[in-house]
Amino acid sequence: MAPRFDIDLLMPAPMMDFVVERLDQAFRVHKLWLAPDRDALLTQVAPSVRAIAAAGGVSIGAPLMGRLPRLECVSGFGVGYDSIDARWAGAHGIVVTNTPDVLTEEVADTALALTLMTVRRLGQAERYLRAGGWLERPFPLTPTLRGRTAGILGLGRIGKAIAQRLAACGLSVHYHGRHRQADVAFPYHATPKDLAQAVDILVVVTPGGADTRHLIDGDVLRALGPDGVLINIARGSVVDEAALIAALRAGAILGAGLDVFANEPRVPQALLELDNAVLLPHVGSATIHTRRAMGQLVVDNLTAWAEGRPVLTPVPETPLAL
């Protein structure tokens, strides 16, 4: 059965089965990861490839896009797109899309759960029970959410959903972003360090990439203080992991809850050994419901582009006139 569109599409890495099936029905899909000689396949198909379907975290940089003279669209899986060089793409007339909104509530739920786990030491309590510790004595008393102030670093869609949940738990909420938002009543702070000084739970929701690399460094962690908790559900690159490990070891902060890491899936052994760190394997949006919605949005963006309609979720760097 011939594909619906007479268009060659490159898929550099595996994606969800139903995404592959639907794209196979619509395009001539070249599955780069299955090729015995990937460079040979890329050389063969490069002159005709007009679109890329990009799995989350797969690097789509200028060296790859520059080899594809007819490339018009890169459809990325995930709200974060720091693995795609969107600036280069935009400057060369290439549309880049991501999958926002459909994962907002799921990630916000995970951030709230991670906050509760970290402050109340719930993961440690479960391990204590499983190891038989409760048979000997009750689990030690823990810190509380009561009376705390939360800071949201990056008050976008997901940041607002997290703020709503934390406010419902009785926490005061402050925020920092590139700009003060006129329609937001939460107190605004001009720098991450200023925000950290004002709160004792700092939730990182900012995009990854070179502009935010190590935005949370030793100075910010010291400003957060010995009763402070760091929650990161954004990108591992935003936090200086060496500085975080040092702060956790020294008691410069109370604890950290992390769903993302700098070199996933490899987590530093030093973090694994720390009892005041709660660590999750990047599961923020990892439910069947949400991942299917994200995959469908990848397909829908490519279909819209192929039909000559505006794509549904272009990233800001995309030339919107296309």
Give the tens place of pLDDT for each residue, 62-78: 999 999 999 999 999 99
Backbone angles phi, psi at 312, to 5 degrees: -80, -40
pLDDT at 99 over 90: yes
| pLDDT-based confidence at residue 2 (cuts at 50, 70, 90) | confident
Give the tens place of pLDDT for each residue, 3-24: 899 999 999 999 999 999 999 9
| 3-class DSSP state of 203 | strand
User: What average pLDDT score do residues 52-60 get?
Assistant: 95
pLDDT at 246 over 60: yes
CB-count burial class (<10 Å; 0-12, 13-18, 19+) for 153: buried
Q: Which amino acid is at 85?
A: D
pLDDT in the model for residue 193:
98
- Residues making up the chain, counted from first to last: 322
pLDDT at 306 over 90: yes
Active site (catalytic) residues: 235, 264, 282
Give the tens place of pLDDT for each residue, 106-158: 999 999 999 999 999 999 999 999 999 999 999 999 999 999 999 999 999 99
Contact 146, 170 (CB under 8 A): yes
Structure tokens at 132: 């038989």
Contact 77, 54 (CB under 8 A): yes
The DSSP letter of residue 310 is P
Give the tens place of pLDDT for each residue, 268-294: 999 999 999 999 999 999 999 999 999
ω before 265 within 30° of 0 (cis)? Answer: yes
**How many helices (H) and strands (E) are present in the chain, helices listed first?**
12, 11
Domain residue ranges in the chain:
8-102+288-306, 104-279
Return the CATH superfamily for domain 8-102+288-306: NAD(P)-binding Rossmann-like Domain (3.40.50.720)
Render 101-156 in DSSP notation, one character per residue: STTHHHHHHHHHHHHHHHHHTHHHHHHHHHTTGGGTSPPPP---STT-EEEEES-S
Structure tokens at 140: 């030690």
pLDDT in the model for residue 1:
65
pLDDT in the model for residue 320:
63
Domain 104-279 has CATH 3.30.450.20: no
CA distance 34 to 239: 34
- CA 154 from chain center: how many Å? 12
pLDDT in the model for residue 318:
86
- Which single residue is written with the structure tokens 């439910």? 287
